Amino acid sequence: MNKIYNYFIFFSILIAFPYISNSQNFMNSGSITGNFQMDAQYYQKDSAIGAPEVPEQLLMNAFANILYTNGKFTTGLRYESYRNPMLGFDNRYKGSGIAYRFATYTADEFEITLGNFYEQFGSGLIFRTYEERNLGYDNAMDGVRVKYNPKQGIMLKAIIGTQRFFWEEGPGIVRGGDAEFALNDLFSSLAENKTKITLGVSAISKFQATEEILYDATKKFDLPENVGAFAGRLNISRGSLSLSTEYAYKSMDPNSLNNYIYRHGEALMLTAAYSKKGLGVIFSAKRIDNMAFKSKRTETGNMLFINYLPALTKQHSYSLSAMYPYASQPNGEMAIQGEIVYTIPKNTILGGKYGTELKINYSRATSIDKKALNDSIAIDEKATKGYTSNFFKFGDQLYFQDFNIEVVKKINTRIKGSLSYVNILYNKSVIEGHPGAPDVTANIVIADITYKLTSQKSIRFEGQHLISKGDLNDNEDPSKGEKKNWVMGMIEYSIAPHWFFSVMDQYNYGNDENDKKIHFYNVGLAYNKNSSRIQLSYGKQREGILCVGGVCRQVPAANGLSITITSSF
C-alpha cells in the first residue's frame, strides 16, 4: 500500500513539474490520451479437455494507460489489475497497482526519460525491453534514459535501470549505450548517393552481486558480477536491394539457462532482400550460440530477458497452422529463411482480372555444432567452458522446418479468398522440453473465402485440415496414442463497420483415443464503435501455445464465457 502512495507522490511531482517550469499557458495546451482493456472469463470445469476447476469462477486482467503531453513534456502511467490472473498468466501477477510510470522531457537535442521505458538497440540481440500485454510479457526498464541527437544522422542513447519482474524488480542493474550513424545524412558528399549506409554499435553491461550457488554438494560456481555484451550492425541499401547484418558478443555468463557453463556467447544475423513493384524476395540467416541474457542468473521463465533472439520463422495466423510454433533456442541455433512475395499481373492467364498474390516461405532451424572439450568432459558440462563449436557448421539436430505457400485471389467483385498449404517438422523434445518425445510432422491445408452480400455485409468461411504424425497424447507414454488429424470450420458474418458474429468448431476427429475426439466449439460476437470494441465469446479453448508479436506463451485448456472490452481515447 505504501508503495502505491509512493507512486502517487512520484507522479504528482512529475505532473507538477511543468506547472513550475512553464508559463500560465500550461492549462490550455496539454492533452490527455489513453487506452483501456479488460479481459474476463467465467470458467467452467471440463475434464474432457483438461480445463481445471477455477475456485474464483471468474478471472480478470485489465489495464489502463494514461498519457499526458504538454509540448516537450510527456508523462504517463499504466494501472494494471489481475483479479485474479486469467488462466495461462503467471500467478505472480496477482494484484493491482501502478506498474509503469514515466516522465519524458525533450530539450533541444536531448530527450530525457525518468521512470519506466521500453528500448531496443539494433535488432535486440543484446538489449530489448518490451511489453506484450496479451501474453503477460513485460520486462520494462525502471531507471533513466537519455537520447542525444547532436546533429542530423547521429543518434546516441544511454540507459540504466533494473527490469520489471511481475510486481517487483529484478536484482540486476542493466546499463549501456547505443550509437547509430546514418552516413548519408552525416556527410553532405553522400547526401545524393543512391547507396544508403547506416552503422550502429552498442554495449550493455549487467551487474548482479555474486551469490553462492553450489554444485556437486560442495563446489561453488564462479559467478562474474559484471557481464558485458557488445554488438555492431550495418545496413546498406541501394534501390531495390538491401543488406543488413548484426553481430553480437557476450562475455562469460554462467546461468541456469545455459547450465552454468563458463563460455562466451555469440550471435549473428544476416538479411538480404530484393524488392520492386510486384515482387519481393528475402533471404535471412542467423546463428545463436549461448546468448541467454537475463538480469537474474537463476531465472528460468519468460521474465527478465535483457535481450531478444528473434526466431527466423514465419508466424502463422490460422489456428491449425499455428499449432506448432517455433521459438528461438538461446543456447544454440542455426537458422535460415527465404521468402518470395509475387503478384501475378492483372489480365494474364494466372493473374486473371485482378491479379493473384503468391507467397512462398521456407525456414529451417537446427542445432549448432558442439564438440566436447576433451574426452573426460561432457558437452554442456556445468562449470566448464562447455564445448567448442565450428562457427559456420550446422548441427545435426533439426529443430524446426516450415514450408508454406499461400495464394490470394479475388475472383470477382463479390468473392475473394486464399488457399494455403503448410508443411511443418517440429522437434517437440527440444521446443517443448519433453525429452524422448518423437518429432511431429504436420501437413495443413487452409481455405479462407469471403463472399460480399452487400457493400457492408459479408460472410466469411474458413476451412482448415491438419494431418499430423508423432504428436503423442501423453509425451511420456506412447501407448496412449497420437492426436493425428484435426479439422476446423468457421463462419463469420460481418456488418461493416460495427458488427461481427462467428461460429467455429475445431475437431480432433483423428485422435487414436475415442474420448479425446473432442469438439472445440466457440461462438462469438463483437461490436466496434470508433476506437472501442466489445467482444463476447462462449466455448472451449484448446490447450496450446499462443503467439503474438514474436512472443509465445502456453495457454491452458479452458471452457466458458469470455468478454473483452477495449478502448482508446
Stretch near another protein under the rule CB under 8 A, chosen from 232-240, 250-258, 380-388, 514-522: 232-240
**Does residue 27 bind another protein (CB under 8 A)?**
yes
CA-CA distance, 501 to 525, in Å (whole number)? 5
**Does residue 48 bind another protein (CB under 8 A)?**
no
| Nearer CB in complex with another protein: 249/354 | 354
CA-CA distance, 121 to 177, in Å (whole number)? 8
Enumerate residues 161-220 that contact another protein by CB under 8 A: 182, 196, 198
Stretch near another protein under the rule CB under 8 A, chosen from 5-13, 90-98, 393-401, 465-473: 5-13
Enumerate residues 383-442 that contact another protein by CB under 8 A: 408, 410
Q: Which of 84, 494, 541, 559 forms a contact with another protein (CB under 8 A)?
A: 494
Peptide bond into 84 cis (omega under 30): yes
CB of 390 to another protein, least distance (A): 26
**Does residue 281 bind another protein (CB under 8 A)?**
yes
**For residue 374, what is the DSSP state?**
B
* Nearest C-alpha neighbor of 227 from the set 154, 306, 310: 306
Here the cell at position 67 is: 498519457
**Does residue 353 bind another protein (CB under 8 A)?**
no
Cβ proximity of 478 and 472 under 8 Å: yes
**Does residue 301 bind another protein (CB under 8 A)?**
no
CB of 170 to another protein, least distance (A): 19
End-to-end Cα spacing for the chain: 29
| Nearer CB in complex with another protein: 297/416 | 416
Cα 385 versus chain centre, distance: 31
Over the window 502 to 541, marking each residue x when it contacts another protein by CB under 8 A and - when it does not, the resulting string is: ------------------------x-x-xxxx--------
Cβ proximity of 283 and 271 under 8 Å: yes
Give the sign of the dihedral formed by CA 536, CA 541, CA 547, CA 552.
Answer: positive
Q: Which of 23, 24, 31, 374 forms a contact with another protein (CB under 8 A)?
A: 31
Stretch near another protein under the rule CB under 8 A, chosen from 81-89, 216-224, 397-405, 448-456: 448-456
What is the number of other CB atoms lying within 10 angstroms of the CB of residue 337?
20
**Does residue 470 bind another protein (CB under 8 A)?**
no
| Nearer CB in complex with another protein: 245/441 | 245
Here the cell at position 526 is: 463483437
**Does residue 262 bind another protein (CB under 8 A)?**
no
Q: 249, exposed or middle or buried, with CB in 10 Å at 0-12, 13-18, 19+?
A: middle
Instruction: Please report, as a single letter, which amino acid is at residue 421.
Output: Y
**Does residue 495 bind another protein (CB under 8 A)?**
yes
Over the window 365 to 394, marking each residue x when it contacts another protein by CB under 8 A and - when it does not, the resulting string is: ------------------------------
Here the cell at position 92 is: 505472480
Residue 27 has phi, psi (to 5 degrees) of: -60, -30
| Nearer CB in complex with another protein: 80/439 | 80
| Nearer CB in complex with another protein: 370/416 | 416
**Does residue 343 bind another protein (CB under 8 A)?**
yes
| Nearer CB in complex with another protein: 221/249 | 249
CB of 348 to another protein, least distance (A): 14
Here the cell at position 497 is: 463497420
Cβ proximity of 564 and 524 under 8 Å: no
Classify strands 558-568 and 356-368 as parallel, antiparallel or unpaired: unpaired
Q: 470, exposed or middle or buried, with CB in 10 Å at 0-12, 13-18, 19+?
A: middle
| Nearer CB in complex with another protein: 221/247 | 247
CB of 259 to another protein, least distance (A): 26
- Give Cβ neighbours of residue 207 (< 8 Å, ≥ 6 apart): 172, 173, 175, 225, 226
| Nearer CB in complex with another protein: 379/449 | 449
**Does residue 242 bind another protein (CB under 8 A)?**
yes
* Nearest C-alpha neighbor of 257 from the set 370, 382, 161: 382
Q: Which of 92, 382, 452, 519 forms a contact with another protein (CB under 8 A)?
A: 452
**Does residue 342 bind another protein (CB under 8 A)?**
yes
**Does residue 317 bind another protein (CB under 8 A)?**
yes
CB of 161 to another protein, least distance (A): 16
Q: Which of 41, 202, 235, 511 forms a contact with another protein (CB under 8 A)?
A: 235
| Nearer CB in complex with another protein: 137/387 | 137
CB of 217 to another protein, least distance (A): 42
Query: Long-range contacts for 73-82 (Cβ within 8 Å, ≥24 apart)?
Result: 73/17, 73/18, 73/22, 73/103, 73/104, 73/105, 73/106, 74/103, 74/104, 74/105, 75/11, 75/14, 75/15, 75/101, 75/102, 75/103, 75/104, 76/100, 76/101, 76/102, 77/7, 77/11, 77/101, 77/102
**Does residue 37 bind another protein (CB under 8 A)?**
yes
Q: Which of 18, 85, 115, 124 forms a contact with another protein (CB under 8 A)?
A: 124
| Nearer CB in complex with another protein: 123/562 | 123
CB of 215 to another protein, least distance (A): 35
Give the sign of the dihedral formed by CA 318, CA 324, CA 329, CA 334.
Answer: negative
| Nearer CB in complex with another protein: 15/377 | 15
Here the cell at position 255 is: 546461468
CB of 133 to another protein, least distance (A): 8
CB of 266 to another protein, least distance (A): 17
Q: Which of 58, 62, 146, 155 forms a contact with another protein (CB under 8 A)?
A: 155
Q: What's the helix, strand, coil split of the chain in %, to 5?
A: 10, 55, 35
